[in-house]
Amino acid sequence: MQNTTIEGRNHDVESDKAWETSWVRRALLTLFTYLAMSVYLWFIEVENPWLSGIVPAAAFMISTLTMPFFKNLWLKYRADN
């Protein structure tokens, strides 16, 4: 019975990790960032809010793409100490 519980937990952890690193999650977060910023910019009457909303969404996507590199770099130097 205990093995089933541990296996179930391991499956859940693996699923969560797969979701956290998936392109689907990144794409959805980028889309939601774009929509939220574009609506906000439209509300405060910025010129071309739907075009301007691309900038924060792109910045978010770039930050999610670079984080694994910086995480690995941090882990490498942290392990040396």
CA dihedral 51, 41, 36, 34 (to 10 degrees): 20
Whole-structure pTM value: 0.73
**Phi then psi for 53, rounded to 5 degrees?**
-65, -15
- Quick one: pLDDT band at residue 1, thresholds 50, 70, 90? very low
Delimit the domains of the chain by residue range: 2-80
Q: Is the CB of residue 37 less than 8 Å from the CB of residue 61?
A: no
Query: In the predicted model, what is the mean pLDDT of residues 37-43?
Result: 97
- Of the two residues 40 and 71, the one the predictor is more confident about is 40
